[in-house]
Amino acid sequence: ETGVTQTPRHLVMGMTNKKSLKCEQHLGHNAMYWYKQSAKKPLELMFVYSLEERVENNSVPSRFSPECPNSSHLFLHLHTLQPEDSALYLCASSQDLRGEPQHFGDGTRLSIL
Amino acid sequence: EDQVTQSPEALRLQEGESSSLNCSYTVSGLRGLFWYRQDPGKGPEFLFTLYSAGEEKEKERLKATLTKKESFLHITAPKPEDSATYLCAVQAIGSARQLTFGSGTQLTVLP
């Protein structure tokens, strides 16, 4: 596989469930990102990891918990989500944090019941 | 605070009808401006990076230009397969971790 792969592509969960989103990049990049994309709104950066170290957390509620076990994998653990958390969650990677373009996966469409 | 405004929000063109999309930005110091294309149900696909005023990049029917306040994405003789949402993002100097995105322009090219 090439590029950035996200699983699952679709997820429906109740407000009390716990689930995880997975992202894997096959580009040899050192930085990975989680974004939230809601209808008619710009992409919102959630978290940034560089060489497995979290370097950015954009005031994201604690019900979202990221994990980066190595430079190729990124997870977003979800717990006790709210209906307003329904959105497309996108993972991206870049070579480094010095202005190289980010390459995105196709996202996980999350629906909270 | 960095800001990106894209216009128009939506644009419908006939096949072959050339036009331009606008991305106006406010940033303390520009490291780079990025254009992406996003198809329904897909993630954004990288198109171009522009780093300094006067720079131009081309790819097939697309040409991106940059000034100190805005960028244009020119589409020459578009085809229906060019239909997508086009996103613009800026990265500020000293904030290499952050991309600030606009809301996008939804382009529809009719056959």
pLDDT in tens, B64-73: 999 999 999 9
> CB contact, 8 Å: A28 with chain B?
no
Alpha-carbon distances, residue A110 vs A10, A36, A66, A84, B69 (angstroms): 6, 10, 16, 10, 36
Considering only residues 43 to 82 of chain A, which have any Cβ-Cβ distance to chain B shorter than 8 Å?
43, 45, 48, 50, 55-56
In this predicted structure, the answer to whether residue B81 has a pLDDT above a threshold of 90 is yes
For A83, phi then psi, to 5°, come to: -55, -35
Q: Which of A43, A88, A95, A102 best tests the B interface by mutation, with the highest count of B CBs <10 A?
A: A43
pLDDT in tens, A12-69: 998 888 999 999 999 999 999 999 999 888 999 999 998 877 777 778 999 999 999 9
Count how many residues are written for chain A. 113
Q: How far apart are CA A33 and CA B29, in angstroms?
A: 22
Query: Chain B: residue nearest A42 by CA?
Result: B103
Q: Give the amino acid at B95.
A: S
A75: pLDDT strictly greater than 60: yes
> What pLDDT does A45 receive?
92
pLDDT at A1: 55
b/e for B28-37, b at 16 or more Cβ within 10 A?
Answer: eebbbbbbbb
Q: What is the pLDDT of residue A98?
A: 78
Which residues are CB-contacts of A75 (< 8 A; sequence separation ≥ 6)?
A: A20, A21, A22, A23, A66, A67, A68, A69
Chain A nearest-CA distance from B79, in A, is: 23
* Contact residues, chain B, for A60 at CB < 8 Å: none
* In contact, B13 and B20? CB cutoff 8 Å: no
Judged by CB atoms closer than 8 Å, whether chains meet at B43 and A107 is answered as yes
Question: What is the pLDDT at residue A78?
Answer: 95
Locate tokens 């994201």: which residue?
A60
Three-state DSSP class for residue B98: coil
Residue B15: C-alpha distances to residues A44, B62, B73, B99 (Å): 33, 14, 17, 32
Average pLDDT, chain B: 94
Q: Give the pLDDT score at B96.
A: 59
Give the best residue of B23, B97, B98, B100 to mutate against chain A (max A CB count within 10 A). B97
Among B9, B7, B4, B8, residue whose Cα is nearest residue B25: B4
d(Cα A107, Cα A38) in Å, to the nearest integer?
Answer: 12
Helix %, strand %, coil % of chain A (to 5): 5, 55, 40
Please indicate if any CB of chain B lies within 8 Å of the CB of A112: no
Q: A102 contacts in B (CB within 8 Å)?
A: 34, 46, 99
